[in-house]
Amino acid sequence: MAFSLGWKTSRSQWCFLQAVSSGLPLFPWRTAGSCLDPEMKAYLEENTEVTSSGSLTPEIQLRLLTPRCKFWWERADLWPYSDPYWAIYWPGGQALSRYLLDNPDVVRGKSVLDLGSGCGATAIAAKMSGASKILANDIDPIAGMAITLNCKLNGLNPFPILTENILNIQQGKFDLIVLGDMFYDEDLADSLHLWLENYFWNHRTRVLIGDPGRPQFSGHSIRHQLHQLEEYILPEPTQQDNNGLTTSAVWDFQP
């Protein structure tokens, strides 16, 4: 696969840190349906595949890069837009989404922030499980378009999407924060840990983290503040696409 985890680590760290340093305004979210540029939408639909197989959540349909897509095999630099991290259903997000679908009381009637939303699967799972308010956050505007398309695939009205970096933006209170596969880089993990601690103590918000046990997560100091809620065996296709990772877990943040 051209878009490998190593590629994600180097490019997305740079993009994330650029956004953190830019001093962004308060709540620059948009209603997802308003950002569907027709040309870009057509390109995404042409170069992705709708699938619900090979993941922990067959209930959720997603538009993803698969081996039947041209850009699964092409060099990453030939993709004409920002790097499509949203086009992979990463294993931490799969675990979080499965957990919310199996435990709807965690989100029913609650406000949820999906941090680093990517394809939007965890936000979609929260909506399916009865969340009253959802904000999906991803710094890539194209991820916002992908989330909108994926909402419609699953018969959901698109929810608000924040396409600026949230770590430097003053936020109101959410009942629950979910984030998957975000601890893949040490510096980013440190920034997230500090932000999550501050947010928790300011708002007493519950935080759930999904991760398949990458070294940057397993060896990070945040692990001393986590309680494992569930661990899932990853489907064989997900294992193959993620360098042989076999399980993914959901953790409750308890600083």
Q: Which domains does the chain have, with CATH numbers?
A: 38-253 (3.40.50.150)
Task: Give the tens place of pLDDT for each residue, 10-64.
Answer: 333 323 323 222 222 233 444 444 456 888 889 889 999 999 999 999 999 999 9
Residue 90 contacts residue 122 (beta carbons within 8 Å): no
pTM score: 0.86
- The mean-pLDDT minimum among 5-9, 213-217, 245-249 falls in 5-9
- What b/e readout covers 205-244, taking b as 16+ CB neighbours within 10 angstroms? bbbbbbbbebebbeebebeebbeeebebebbeebbebbee
The confidence score (pLDDT) of residue 72 equals 86
Higher pLDDT, 71 or 115: 115
Please state the rounded mean pLDDT for residues 102-127: 98
- The mean-pLDDT minimum among 12-16, 133-137, 181-185, 223-227 falls in 12-16
CA distance 252 to 255: 10
Residue that has been written with the tokens 């994926």 in this structure: 150
Question: What is the side-by-side order of every strand in the sheet holding 133-137?
Answer: 29-31, 160-162, 133-137, 111-115, 176-180, 206-211, 247-253, 226-233
How much of the chain, in percent, has pLDDT values that exceed 90? 69
- The mean-pLDDT minimum among 96-110, 161-175, 185-199, 206-220 falls in 161-175
The confidence score (pLDDT) of residue 25 equals 28
The confidence score (pLDDT) of residue 64 equals 96
The confidence score (pLDDT) of residue 34 equals 44
Residue 249 contacts residue 228 (beta carbons within 8 Å): yes
Confidence of residue 78 (pLDDT cuts 50, 70, 90): confident
CA distance 174 to 112: 6
- Taking CA atoms, 186 is separated from 30, 37, 59, 192, 224, in Å, by 30, 35, 33, 10, 16
- Examine the pLDDT at 86 and tell me if it is beyond 80: yes
Please state the rounded mean pLDDT for residues 163-182: 91
